[in-house]
Amino acid sequence: MTTKPIIEIDPYEKTWMRISLGLLVVFIIMVGVAGYALGFQLPASETRVNPQTVATDPNSPWSNPGLRELAPGKYEVYILAQIWLFNPREITVPVGSTVTFYVTSKDVQHGFKIQDTNINMQIIPGYVSTLTHVFDKPGEYPYICTEYCGSGHAAMFGKIIVEP
């Protein structure tokens, strides 16, 4: 007659396994809440552009980057990242505005982060990254490059002014 081997697990190990599974469940719930209830969004690659001609093509919105009003309170901003500057460097919108950002690069990889918002994108030459944000509070929202792009990287910044 054969008997099945009995696997004994130490009580401390069982406790840590339960804690680990509990943490996994908590993290899954947190990701769900962040994704749906808090409105987190992932930057999407809207379209592709030719990085060599994106700033000079007359049909390209980046040949004249900046703010465009679509309707009262709804705006689009086209931002061109290039070595050591964002164009435009300053954007002004009224409080309560919904702003969709379209950002591309004409040379190297950059980052685009707006302080005190959930806007944080990786900007890759040839791709257009887009995210939308509602500016509910007046003030200045600086934006910076978050990817090291060379010796002038620290000069890559700008600001959004939200007026009451």
Check: CB of residue 131 under 8 Å from CB of residue 89. no
What pLDDT does residue 42 have?
67
Compute the average pLDDT of residues 101-119. 94
SS3 for 87-107 is: ECCEEEEECCEEEEEEEEECC
Mean pLDDT of the chain: 91
pLDDT surpasses 70 at 44: no
What pLDDT does residue 46 have?
67
What pLDDT does residue 61 have?
93
Q: What is the pTM of this model?
A: 0.76
